[in-house]
Structure 1
Amino acid sequence: MPRFVIEREIPSLGKWTPQDLQAASRTSCGVLQAMGPQVQWVHSYVTDDKMYCIYQAADEELVREHARRGGFPANSVARVRCVIDPSTAEAVPA
C-alpha cells in the first residue's frame, strides 16, 4: 500500500498536554476504524506548530477523507516515493 506524509498546521501544538494528544489520537483511531483497512496511521511527529503524520493508504483521497471526518487539517499530503537513510550511502547501486 502506498505511504503518505501529511503536514498538519496546528498552532501551539507543542503545548498540548498528554491528555490533549490522547484525545486527538482516539478521534483519529475511531475514524480509521470506521473507514476500514484501506487507510492506516503509522505514526506522527509533533513539533511546535505542526504535526507530520505517516499513513499507508490505497490513495490520497482516503487520507484526505480521514482528515475531513476527524476534523484535522491536512495542509499538505505527499506520496512517499522512496525512503533513504544513512545506510543508503553504503548501498551498491543496482
Structure 2
Amino acid sequence: MPKFIIEREIPGAGDLTKEDLTGISQKSCSILKEMGPQIQWVQSYVTDNKIYCVYNAPDEKTIMEHAKAGGFPANQITQVKNIIDPTTAES
C-alpha cells in the first residue's frame, strides 16, 4: 500500500497538551475505524506550528476523506517513493 506524508498546518501545535493530543488521536482513530483497513495511521511528528503524519493509504483521495471527516487540515500530501536509512549504506 502506498505511504504518504501529510503536512498539517496547526498554529501552536507544539504547545498542545498531552490531553489535546490524546483527544486528536482518539478522534482520528475513531474515523479510521469507520473507514476500514484501507487507511492506516503510522505515526505523527509534532513541531511548533505543524504536524507531519505518516499514513498508508490507497490514494490521496482517501487521506482527504479522513481529513475532512475529522476536521483536520491536510495542507500538503506527498506520496513516499522510497525509504532509506543508515542500513541503505550497507551493500
TM range (shorter): over 0.9
Aligned length: 91
DSSP-derived class of the 1:66 partner: helix
Q: In 1, Cα distance between the equivalents of 2:10 and 2:18?
A: 16
Q: Indicate the percent of aligned positions where both proteins have the same amino acid.
A: 57
Give the alignment's TM-score, normalised by structure 1: 0.93
Asked if 1:43 corresponds to 2:53, the answer is no
Q: In 2, Cα distance between the equivalents of 1:78 and 1:66?
A: 15
Q: In 2, Cα distance between the equivalents of 1:49 and 1:86?
A: 29
Asked if 1:63 corresponds to 2:56, the answer is no
Identify unmatched segments of 5+ residues in structure 2.
none
DSSP-derived class of the 1:8 partner: strand
Q: In 2, Cα distance between the equivalents of 1:85 and 1:36?
A: 30
DSSP-derived class of the 1:21 partner: helix
Amino acid at match of 1:44: S
Identify unmatched segments of 5+ residues in structure 1.
none
- Superposition CA RMSD, Å: 0.7
Deviations 1:46-83 (A, max 9, x none): 00100000000011100111000000000000110000
1:9 aligned residue: 9
DSSP-derived class of the 1:38 partner: coil
Give the alignment's TM-score, normalised by structure 2: 0.96
1:85 aligned residue: 85
Q: In 1, Cα distance between the equivalents of 2:39 and 2:63?
A: 7
Cα offset for 1:87? 2.1
